[in-house]
Structure 1
């Protein structure tokens, strides 16, 4: 129950201060609200802007959550994260680098605010993918920045009020404690942000393409009233380029892959059978509005054998 989770946080943290890094997703928001009920003003909430957020996300988070959580301090860390990612192409190394920098920012913020505890919105599927699930055969698929990605030197004691829950269960709790519906139904977004949707090195140009194309995918799904009927929807960009025609001239541009999946808990997923007319609109907008893109493809692989995110 909610009351049980509030009591557990209160007993664990006691009279000390705790830090929570909110991302605007339902998991971190719900964990933060549970902690706020438990320890009140001893909770310090921050938003780490690592430069890898979705289009307009920072503004949306601050507008939706500042009053609910008693204020959110923004940590400007774009140059730190993007600098560390320069030249890094390996998927697991990307996650490790982001996890390490994330931990450094957390520790600095905690020291500044006098916090001894870290409240995290980790849920059960995160633990399974990072090899921390209950099943003995659980093996690491990907390092999650807030699970396997936290280094041993981090001084903060981690509290995870939602660690035994699946996404649908978190959404039920969120609705009961007053989380806005737009946050409850916002698609899951990985901690490393758009870095896991950019294959290869994260460059400013690829990041721009990924951010703009993903925004178009989400916007068109909302217009078609399909956004809440799918689990996740986004665009992926790598280093591959293909020949196209722009303005009656030959152009060499990026290949963008659109990924839309249905799922119940994120443990398995199927590709969404979207109407061809919707796919056509998405493709036309991406190639028409993003100058650097010439081709758009649609990913039709289930999880497994694929994962939902490409990196």
Structure 2
């Protein structure tokens, strides 16, 4: 059974980047809407909660029932994800005086915490938030701070649940990939036995088994998703696939001709 990390998407513009970083660790992950957690999937080994354009106290903010995942999987909340867990479990999240956007450095961190294995002193991180965690829930502890953000990283005591205010997935968090590796590999236990190539082979085999001699019509938009679907189906069923690319009149100049040539 293929292990997987689930990323619950709360609408962050960097959710796909989090997924990319996890896959670069040779670990399969699925990005799912915040309210679509696969409760009966035994292959899940960990959960990441993404950022969001909302504040946790907004009426429109996306929310989940943490009881469905807490205590069952290691959890890492990033930015909104960290604020949401703190706010939901009894902490305080309030508007910061000014939006903090840009480079910061860890003024202190718990060197013994598994999330910071291999970290260097004053490691540079990247902040992007308008709210801040002013009080942690009972039973939670601060494990890293910057000069401006006291609760930059926290953990629930005796529990594999972490919240990170900065964005480890972006390039400017210099050791961000290491933090994700510590979570995905050391904490969640990824065997790092997944690759994009193995995903293609597995998917093609599954398509062959599911479709058999069936014929398939696929609408192509010219985008990545439908193009990848076409390639995988073509590898699986060959001439039994018919693709249709429609010039609907809303394409850019010469786009229909250029995309059709590429296809």
Which TM bucket (shorter chain)?
Answer: under 0.3
**More strand, by proportion:** 2
Larger radius of gyration: 2
**More helix, by proportion:** 1
Q: TM-score, normalised by structure 2?
A: 0.25
